[in-house]
A and B are shown apart, each in its own frame.
Chain A
Amino acid sequence: MSRDPVDDLVEEMKRMEQRSLGRSLPSVKKNCEMVEEDDSYFPILSLPDELIGEVFSFLSIEDRFKARVNKKLNEIELKSKYFVKSLKIGELSGAEMVDYVTNKKQYPYGKYRNEQEIIFDKEREYSSDSIRRISQNASIGQLSVKFDIQLNSINSKFHREIYDLTKNFDVDHLILDFQRHFVTEDVVNIINSSFFAEVTKKCKSLKLPFLSHSVTLTDLHELYEAMVAGSSKFRSLEMGIFASDFFEFLSLIGVTYRERKFFSNKDIQVFEDPAFPEELLEHLMYGLDLSDGYRHTYIFDGNVELWINYALMQESLGGEIKLRFHESQESLDNAKYGRNLVKMLW
């Protein structure tokens, strides 16, 4: 004997009610009907919390914060998750700040949802609470933080707190900049081993475009090995590195560099940017000899590509490296053979 289809239907509808966001829908209906007599305002509070949260997910962070006009909306704002494709946090001062504010007033619809900015006035004091609040329920595609961190600045504590908070974010791509190439010891204290370990576990990519010893060689080596082994979800690292650290890193990963040549017992492949064509050299105005040496190096170890800025090979103080994990053979082949690189054979 088969079940009564009506029973099945009732079951299915119950399941659907549960799945549907508007669990408390009957009350919406009632409330909406109640206010229909006075239709001069939108009865937003009569919507279920989840639906108000949905509306909030269409707002910019600034609008979300401003919409917290009573207790209920304040709570809903905090508990509803949202996604921001790109968020830049930074500061401006003087005329630049005035320009920024004027521009924002003139084009209030300019920065909407996909690319958002939070710009602080360098001359005012702030608390990091706003950023902490965002870290609680936002997911960010790309988060970039850039402050001119100075010990004597009125906001130096605030700056440090924000850099430290970035590890709490649910973020794919994290960029931490300091508006300067060399950074002081206090930065090392924020971006330390545990910070690096946490962020490289959580994010897909990390960019630290400055020279410091904040990332230790052990940290870097561990990450590299995990990426080569394919056991890390982490995909891309860009960072400044002192030359002395870099050559030590090379030896840690089993690569020796001697007289512009790389040697290794491992199965690695080395490529370089192509030499500049003669005819192009004539047009270069800077008097640099680019014919030799000013070319970046690429070392491939399994699915990992290590990009080395030419400066590092020029016995300079430091330069930049990029570590990238290629997820597919196609991407790997493209990186090796699709960019007109020259394969170095020794």
Chain B
Amino acid sequence: PNVKLVTSDNEEFVVDFRIAKMSVTVSRLMEAMNMSETDDASLLSNSIPLPNVTKAVMARVIEWCEKHKNDEPKEEKENDKRGRTTHVVSDWDKEFLKNDEFGRLCQLMGAANYLEIKGLFNDISQTIANMIHGKKSDEIAEMFNIHCDLTEAEKKEIRKKTAWCED
């Protein structure tokens, strides 16, 4: 069975029910609209509006979901409830995210968050974290084009707190 998703720029995407279910948000909306996998009429007569996602981003999200639709659901361990342990970005996902320009990656992250697709969201978060990892403060500022608005006193305060990790 197929489900119709409509983006903010009024593009209709027809996806498999299983793909649609990968988004917690879409799942909830389908429930609210009494749409069920076994009731074709309910699927045909309704479409899910997603006003926070554009056509271009939706296409990327669906591409990711297609690849991951057969993934084993990860069981929540005791630790996961309190916080994540290391998330490993698979080679396919790395390659997938490499194609996105920075601005698009940022939109994709927003969409993954809004649609509540945890795997994609973690992939992107980890990818951005990897950009930061191992860099010095000035390198990080340069990479993100961040103008430092800290006062000398605040900088001194920060240096005091990071004395153990500065060279």
Contacts and interface: CB of A to CB of B under 8 A. Distances in A.
A254 interface: no
Contact of B150 (A59, A70, A126): A70
A139 B83 contact: yes
- Tell me the dominant secondary structure on chain B's binding face: helix
Contact of A58 (B87, B113, B141, B167): B87
B83 A8 contact: no
Interface in A104-124: 108-109, 112-114, 118-121, 124
Contact of B84 (A13, A33, A57, A126): A57
Interface in B118-166: 121-122, 125-126, 128-129, 131-138, 140-141, 143-150, 154, 157-158, 160-165
A82 interface: yes
A43 B106 contact: yes
A282 interface: no
Nearest to A54: B125
Given A20-B25, A130-B163, A42 B106 contact: yes
A154 to B, nearest CB: 14
Contacts of B138: 69
A9 B79 CA distance: 35
A83 B113 contact: no
A74 B143 contact: no
Contacts of B145: 40-41
Contact of A42 (B49, B105, B160, B164): B105
A58 B134 CA distance: 13
Given A74-B154, A129-B160, A42 B79 contact: no
Interface residues of A, number: 68
B85 A85 contact: yes
B83 A82 contact: yes
Contacts, number: 192
B109 interface: yes
Interface string B90-123: 0000000000011111110110011010000110
A46 interface: yes
Contact of B102 (A21, A39, A83, A112): A39
B133 A70 contact: no
A43 B165 CA distance: 26
A275 interface: no
Contacts of A9: 29, 32-33, 49
B10 interface: no
Contact of A83 (B33, B82, B104, B143): B82
B146 A51 contact: no
Contacts of B150: 69-71, 74
Interface string A11-51: 01100100011100110110011011001111111110001
Given A5-B33, A119-B164, A58 B129 contact: yes
Contacts of A208: none
A270 interface: no
A11 B101 CA distance: 35
A139 B140 CA distance: 25
B129 A55 contact: yes
Which interface residue of B84, B105, B132 has the most chain A CB atoms within 10 A?
Answer: B132
Contacts of A133: 161
A268 interface: no
B103 A58 contact: no
B28 interface: yes
A25 B84 CA distance: 23
A339 interface: no
A62 interface: yes
Contacts of A293: none
A60 B86 CA distance: 10
A32 B107 contact: yes
B49 to A, nearest CB: 8
A41 B158 contact: no
Given A47-B106, A59-B129, 9 more contacts: A9-B29, A12-B28, A35-B103, A55-B128, A58-B129, A71-B150, A118-B165, A120-B164, A129-B161
Interface of A: 5, 8-9, 12-13, 16, 20-22, 25-26, 28-29, 32-33, 35-36, 39-47, 51, 54-60, 62-63, 65-71, 73-74, 81-85, 101, 108-109, 112-114, 118-121, 124, 126-127, 129-130, 133, 139, 141
23 contacts: A5-B34, A8-B33, A20-B25, A20-B113, A32-B104, A42-B106, A43-B103, A45-B144, A47-B106, A55-B128, A57-B84, A57-B125, A58-B122, A59-B132, A63-B133, A66-B132, A69-B148, A70-B141, A74-B154, A83-B83, A112-B86, A119-B164, A139-B83
